[in-house]
Structure 1
Amino acid sequence: MPDASGRPAEAAAPVSQGEKTRLRASPLLRRILLLNAVAPALLAASLLYLDQYQNGLLSAEVESLRTQARIYAGGIAEAAARVQDDRAVLVPDVARPLLRRLVEPSPNTQAKLFDTTGLLVADSRVREGQGGAIVTEPLSPPEPQGAFEGWLATVYDRILSWLPRNIGFGGSDVVVDVTPGAPSFDWQPALGPDRQQELRLALEGGVRPYIRRTSDGQLLVSVAEPAKRGNQSVGIVLLTREARQVDERLLEIRSSVLGLFLLALLLTVAASVYLARTIASPILALAGAAAAMRQGKGRAGSVPVPLLARTDEIGILSRDLQSSATALWARIDQNERFAADVAHELRNPLTSVRSAIETLKRIENPEHQLRLLAIIADDAVRMDRLITDIADSSKVDAELSRTASEPVEVGPILAALTELHNTTRKPNDPVVVLELAPGPLAARGVEGRLVQVFRNLLGNALSFSPPNGRVWMRARPTGAIFEFMVEDEGPGIPEAKLDGIFARFYSERPEGEQFGKHSGLGLSISRQIVEGLGGRIAAENRRDEGGKVIGARFVVRLPLA
C-alpha cells in the first residue's frame, strides 16, 4: 500500500549496513574463480601423479642394469675362474681388479662379487690404499638441489602422500621400497634360512631386482646375476646403481607441469575477473538500483544507462527492471488520482445529505420534509452505487492476475443479454439487434468479467439511444482476434473525448438523465478488464455518407481462443 507520499510503505526504510556490505561484496566472483580453478587444479594433480611415468623409467633402468650385470658376470666367469677337478672355481685375486676395471666407466655404479657360499669376494668401491690400508669409496652423494627444486620436490612428495600410490612392475618382477632409509640388498656371512633361499635363487638367476631410496634421498636399483662357467655357477654379481636420471626426468616433468599450471591458473583468474566484471558487477549495480527504487529515488530511472544499452541478458534484465519501476510509479500515481477522485465524488452526495439534514431540522412543513427525505434517499443510493463500483474497480486487476484465462463461448452470452433486454424493455425503449458470425465464436478471458464488459457497453449504448432506437451488438473473428462491437443511434462522442470517456468518473451523461444514476466508472472498469485480458478497447463515431455523426461505436478486441 502506498503511503501519503505516493511511495510504497516499505520504501521509507533505510538500507541497513549489512545490505550495503552485501552490495559491495561479490560472492559470485569467488564462485566463478573457484569453479574455473577446478579444471586446472585437477589437471595439475593428475599430471603430478607421475607413478606410471616413473615406473616406465625404473623399468628401463632395471633392464639396462640387468644387461650390464650379465655382461660383468660373463666376463668374470670367463676371465676370473679356473677349472679344477672338472669343477669351476673363482679366483679372487683375478676377479677383484677385473671387477674394478669393468665398473670404472660407470661412476654411479657399485659392483660386488660373492662366491657360491655367499661370502663377499670383491667390491668395486673397496681398494687397497697407501700402506696396505683398505679404503671404501661409497657411491657419490646426490647433487644438492636448488631452493626451487627442493621446494618443488617437497610439495610434490606431500601431494603424493595424500594420494593412493601403485608403484610396481607387475607385483612379482621387481621388489620396490621407496621409503627413505630402506634396508640394503646384500648377502653377508652367517646367512639365515631366508638368505640361504635368496642365495640359492641368485645362483640360479631367479632373484628379483630391488629398488629402494636411501635416507639421503638416493634412488638405488640393485640386480643380481649368476656368473657361470659352462653350466656351473662360480659366483654372484650384485650391481647397484643410482637412478639419478629418473629423478632428473621427473623433476623436469614436474617443473613443466607446474609452469603450465601456474599459467593456466593465471589465465583462469583473469578470465574469472573479466567474467565477474561482466556479470557480477552489473548485477550488483542492478541491486543498488533496486535499493534506490525501494527508497523512492528511482522515479526518473535509477538503472545506469550503460546497463540499459547492453544487448545481452543483463541489458534485458536492466530494461525490464526499469520498465517495472516505471509501471509501479505509474500505478502509484494512478492510485493517488483515484483516491483524490473518490474523495471528490463522495464529497458531493455527503454535502447534499448534510445540507438536507440541517434544513430538515429547521422546517416543519411535511411536504418539504418529504422532499428533503427523498433527496437524502437518492444521495444514499448514489453513494452506495459509487462505493460498489469503486470496490469493483479496485479489485479488477488483482482478480485478473489470480485467475487464468480460458476459452469463453461468446455467442450464448450475447444472445442471453439481447433476449433479456428485448423481453423486459419498456415501451419506447431501444431495441437490441444481435449479429453473430457463423460458427463457434470463443474469446480467451474470464467469463464473469467478459459478461460485465458486455453489460457495461450495452447499458451505455442504451442510455444514449433515442426512444424507439436501435442498438447493434456484433461479434466476429478477424484473424487471431475476437472483435466485439456495440453501436447506437445516439448523439455520438465529442472528438476530443474519444479516449477521455474511459477515464474514471467521466461525467458527461445523456440529456434528461436523472443525476447520480451512473457512477462514471463503467467504461473505466471495462477498459481495465479488457486490457487485463491482453486486449484493446476503443471508441469512435458512426457517420453517414455525408460525414454526419449518427451514433457511437465501441470496439473490443481480445485474443481468439
Structure 2
Amino acid sequence: MNALPPALLAASLLYLDQYQNGLMAAEVESLRTQARIYANGIAEAAVRPQDDRMVLSPDAARPLLRRLVEPSPNTQAKLFDNNGLVVADSRLREGQGGAIVSEPLPPPEPRRIFAGTLAGLYDRLIGLFPRSVRGASGRDGVVVDVNPDAPSFDWQPDLGPDRREELRIALEGGVNPYVRRTADGRLLVSVAEPARRGNQSVGIVLLTREAREVDQRLFEIRFSVLGLFALALALTVALSVYLARTTATPMLQLAAAAAAMRAGKGRAGSVPEPLLARRDEIGVLARDLQDSATALWARIDANERFAADVAHELRNPLTSVRSALETLLRVEKPEDQKRLLAIIAEDAVRMDRLIADISDSSRVDAELSRTASEPVDIGPILSALAELHQATRKENDPVVALEAPDRLVVRGVEGRLVQVLRNLLGNALSFSPPRGTVQVRARPTGAMVELTVEDEGPGIPEARLEGIFDRFYSERPSGEQFGKHSGLGLSISRQIVEGLRGRISAENRRDANGKVIGARFIVRLPAG
C-alpha cells in the first residue's frame, strides 16, 4: 500500500517526459512550416537577376522579412545569402542618428503570485542540478545546446561563412532543429530553411522562436506533479499512521501480553479483548497466543495434579511397608514374620512398577514432541501381537480374533503405537471370561484409520466411560491380585494417541435387549 503513491508519482514523471517530447516536436514542426513560408515568400519577392541567375536583393528582403515576422513578437528571423553573410535581421532596426540597434527579447509574461512562488521554488530546486533540454526525436532530431553562459541577446546559432559545412547542409535543407537555453532560462528553438527560386538556392532563412508555450505547459505539468507528490506524501503518511495503529501497536501489545505470561501474570487472559475480537491476521495471532497460554496453564495444572497423584499413590505402599516393618519388630512367630516380609516384598514390587509407569508417563509428551511422525504399517504389528498371544496362551485363556487388511498405514511412532495396542489388548484379555474372545478390527475410514478392541467382560460403568483414562484410576476384575496394575496404562495410551493427533474413546457393547455384553475401545489415527 505504501508503494502505490510513489508508483503513481513515477508514472507521472514518465508521462512528463513524453509530454515534453510531444510539445517540442510540435513546436519544431510549427517553426519549420513558418520558415518554409518565409523562405518561399522571399524567394519570390526579394530576388533580382544577375548574370543569368537569381540573387537576393537586400533592399527588398529587409522590409519584407520584418513584415513577415511582425505578427510573431517572440520570433527572430535572419536571412543569409549563399556565402553565409547576413542579409537581413528582423530584430535590427535603424535608430536615432542612423545607428543600428537590436530589439531586446520581449519580457516574460507575469505569473500569478502563488504559481510564481511555486515556479521560483521549483526553478531553485532544479538549479541545483545541471540544466538540460530534451528535444524531439525521430526525423525531427533536435540539436541540444546547454550553454547558460550565452548572452541573452544572442538569439540564434552562428551560421556564418566560417562554418562552411553547416552552410552547405543548410543550403541543401538538411539542418536539424537547434534548441538551447539562455542564461536567464529562456528556451529557444531555431530552424533553417533554404530559399529556392526554381531549382536554385538564393539564401537561407533562419528562424528562432522562444518556446514560451512549451515552458508554460511544462510548468503546468510540473505543478500537477507537485500536487500529485503532495497527495502521495499525504497518503503515505496516512497509511503509515494507519498501519502503525492497526499493526505495529497491536504487535507491541501482543509482545507485552507474552511478557506478562512469562512473568506469570494474567492467568485468566493476558491478551486484550479488542485484539481477540479482530478478524484479521492480528486477531488470529492474538487468539493463538491466548490459546497457547491457556494450554500452557492447563499443562502446568495437569503437572501439579500429577505430582499430587504420584505422592498419593506412592504414600499407600510406603504406608503399608512402614506398618509391616513396625509389626515385624513386635511379632515372634516365624509364620507371621514370613507373611509380613511377603507383604513388604509385594509393596516393593508395586512401587517399582508404579515408578516405572510414572516415569514412562512423564516421558511420553516430551518424546512425541521431539520425534517426527512417520508412516507405520500396523497390519504386521497386529498380526505379531495376535500370534504372540496364541503362542503363549493357556488352555482357558481368551482367544484373540483379528480382522485387518495386510497393509494399513498410519502416521505415528512405531514403538509408542505398539505400546498402545499392547495396553488395549492386555486390558481386554484381563476382563474377558475364560475361553472368551477378544475381537480386534482395523479398517480405513477416509483420512483416518479406525481400530477397535472388543471384549466379553462386564463392561464399564456408564459414569466412568471417560474417567477410566484418568491417571491412577483402576477398575480391575474381581479376584485379581491387588497392586498388579498402576492405573496408568489407559492414561498413557490416551497421551500417545492424542500426541499423534488421534482420538481414543470407550463404550459398552450391548445385545439386542440392551444388556451389556462387553467393552469396546476405539482408536482413530491419521492415515499415512
Q: Decide which moves more: 65-74 or 360-369.
A: 360-369
Check conservation: 2:80, 2:88, Cα contact below 8 A: yes
1:181 paired residue number: 149
- Structure 1 position 377, deviation (Å): 2.8
Q: Decide which moves more: 396-405 or 432-441.
A: 432-441
- Structure 1 position 333, deviation (Å): 0.9
2:120 paired residue number: 150
Equivalent residue for 2:99, pick from 120, 125, 133: 133
Name the TM-score, length of structure 2 as normaliser. 0.83
Distance 2:62 2:69 in 1: 11
User: Looking at both structures, which has the greater relative contact order when contacts are Cα pairs under 8 Å and sequence separation is at least 6?
Assistant: 1
Check conservation: 1:210, 1:221, Cα contact below 8 A: yes
Check conservation: 2:189, 2:208, Cα contact below 8 A: yes
Deviations 1:202-261 (A, max 9, x none): 445444432211111111122333445555555443322111111112222222333344
Deviations 1:47-90 (A, max 9, x none): 34x1x433333333233323333333343444444334545454
SS in 1 for 2:486: coil
Q: Percent identity?
A: 69
Counterpart residue type for residue 253 of structure 1: I
Structure 2: gaps (5+ residues): none
- Structure 1 position 388, deviation (Å): 0.8
SS in 1 for 2:268: coil
Aligned pairs for 1:69-218 (under 5 A) are 69-143=35-109, 146-155=116-125, 167=135, 169-170=137-138, 173-181=141-149, 184-187=156-159, 191-192=161-162, 195-218=163-186
2:494 paired residue number: 527
Structure 1: gaps (5+ residues): 1-31
Distance 1:448 1:73 in 2: 104
Check conservation: 1:488, 1:553, Cα contact below 8 A: no
Pairwise CA RMSD: 3.6
- Structure 1 position 386, deviation (Å): 0.9
Answering whether residue 415 of structure 2 is matched by residue 448 of structure 1, we say: yes
- Structure 1 position 553, deviation (Å): 4.2
- Structure 1 position 296, deviation (Å): 2.6
2:11 paired residue number: 43
Equivalent residue for 1:318, pick from 286, 301, 308: 286
Distance 2:257 2:424 in 1: 43
Distance 1:499 1:469, change over 3 A: farther
Check conservation: 1:408, 1:446, Cα contact below 8 A: no
Equivalent residue for 1:56, pick from 4, 8, 22: 22
Name the TM-score, length of structure 1 as normaliser. 0.79
Deviations 1:383-432 (A, max 9, x none): 2111110111112223334241424334x5445445544554557xx522
Q: Decide which moves more: 220-229 or 434-443.
A: 434-443
Answering whether residue 381 of structure 2 is matched by residue 409 of structure 1, we say: no
Answering whether residue 300 of structure 2 is matched by residue 302 of structure 1, we say: no
Equivalent residue for 1:500, pick from 467, 474, 499: 467
1:286 paired residue number: 254
Distance 2:225 2:75 in 1: 31
Answering whether residue 482 of structure 2 is matched by residue 515 of structure 1, we say: yes
Deviations 1:13-65 (A, max 9, x none): xxxxxxxxxxxxxxxxxxx53x33442242233234x1x43333333323332
Distance 1:279 1:100 in 2: 72
Q: Decide which moves more: 279-288 or 246-255.
A: 279-288
Distance 2:207 2:527 in 1: 95
Check conservation: 1:118, 1:199, Cα contact below 8 A: yes
Distance 1:121 1:523, change over 3 A: closer
- Structure 1 position 313, deviation (Å): 4.2
Deviations 1:429-465 (A, max 9, x none): x522233337546362444333322332333344445
1:22 paired residue number: none
Check conservation: 1:482, 1:560, Cα contact below 8 A: no
- Structure 1 position 177, deviation (Å): 1.3
- Structure 1 position 303, deviation (Å): 3.0
Distance 1:545 1:204 in 2: 117
SS in 1 for 2:398: strand
SS in 2 for 1:121: strand
- Structure 1 position 334, deviation (Å): 0.8
Q: Decide which moves more: 317-326 or 165-174.
A: 165-174
Deviations 1:338-364 (A, max 9, x none): 111112222333344455556666777
Counterpart residue type for residue 517 of structure 1: K
